Structures are given as C-alpha cells and as structure tokens.
Amino acid sequence: MLTETKVMSMASLFTNNITSVKNLNGFHNAVYEVCGDITFILRVAEGKRDDETNSEIDYLKYLHKYLVPVAPPIASLQNQYVHLAVVEDKCYTVSAYQKAKGKDCWSRGIDGRDRFRIIGQTLGRMHRLSMLYNNYKVAKRRQWDENPHLVKARYVLHNYNADLTDKFDSYISLMCRFPKKKSSFGLVHGDFLFSNYFFDDDNNI
C-alpha cells in the first residue's frame, strides 16, 4: 500500500523541500500534486515499467522541443527521469512532470467550437511530428493490434456471438494488410479525450 510517507519519499527524489502532497486520484496510475520548492505532478505506476516510461518521456521531450503544449517531464535530483521503487515487495515506476496550466474538464465548462479547433490542430501537430520522430534509442511501443482491449474483445465477442468473432477477425486482418508507410503509419495519441487536456482563460491548451 502506498502510504503518505512512501509517496513523500518518492517525491523527494525530485525536490529537497516538500510542503504538501495531494492525491489527484489517477485512473491507470497513482497521481499526486507535489508542492514545495517547485510544484509538479508525480506519477506512480505499478510494476517495473521503466523502459515503457522512458519511451514516453523521450517522445514528450521531443514534442516539447517543437513547442507542442505538453507537460514536459522533470529530471530527478540524480538527473534521471524514471526511478524504480520497491514498497512491501511490490515494484513501482516513478516519474514527474510539470503541472499543466489551465482548468480541467470539470472546472472549465463546455468546450466550444474554438476549443475544438485548437484541439484538432494540436493533435494534428503531434501526428505530423511523429512522422519525423526517431525512436531508435528507446523501447518500441506496442502495435495497434496489440492493444489489450482489442485482444480481449475477440474472447468477449466469441462468448456472445461466434459470428461477431468472425467479423472481428476479418476486420483486423483487413486492417493489418494496409501498408505501413511513414506517411500513414506511426505514433498516435490513444487517449486524446476531454479529461486529458487543460485550457486556460485565453484558450491555450
């Protein structure tokens, strides 16, 4: 179990002075807002995921370099972006990020036409830059058809309706036959929904 003391210890990897730690109730990972000398977001993922997290961070740094409005990673006091921590024989992967400016989906109100245009432009820039991104230094991301939801779907559909399984397999097979060209196949944002970006009062994302 991640006690407040353990989380404080993880946060201290990134700063010498901590005044408060607030649990932000993350979904896939434990996420905390840490205040002190600096304010940052601490992400604690279950399991040994240092290769995967280093891959994410390398891409984030690349996007940030080309002025895409992402929350960049923060290096620890040991000048590392990712640390592994063991708590009660359980391994956790720890990383930190600048706190994104603006309001979340629960406090900013409904996103209108202007914001949707900005959202689309931002996503387009990310995808365009991904065509030029050289990821030979980091672990490869999984292919689209290795997504656990798609892998699980086949078994769910089979238990519900065998015909659906056949249709599903045919569709996946068709998609896999499309050429993997640099102009049409690469990194994509798999979770670009309203709760994963902020807007400030000037409509900056």
Does the domain formed by 4-100 have CATH 3.20.20.70? no
Identity of residue 203: N
Rounded to an integer, what distance in angstroms lies between the CA atom of residue 42 and that of residue 94? 7
What pTM was estimated for this model as a whole?
Answer: 0.86
Residue 174's pLDDT is what? Answer: 96
Long-range contacts for 26-29 (Cβ within 8 Å, ≥24 apart)? none
Identify the band that residue 48 occupies on the pLDDT scale cut at 50, 70 and 90. Answer: very high
Does 3 score more than 80 pLDDT? yes
How far apart, in Å, are the Cα atoms of 106 and each of 10, 64, 195? 28, 26, 8
**How does residue 61 score in pLDDT terms, banded at 50, 70 and 90?**
very high
Average pLDDT of span 127-155: 87
**Cα separation values, 199 from 3, 41, 64, 106, 109, Å:** 32, 17, 17, 11, 10
pLDDT digits 0-9 by tens, 68-104 = 999 999 999 999 999 999 999 999 999 999 999 999 9
pLDDT of residue 14: 97
Give the count of beta carbons closer than 10 Å to the beta carbon of residue 50: 19
Query: What's the rounded mean pLDDT across residues 174-182?
Result: 91
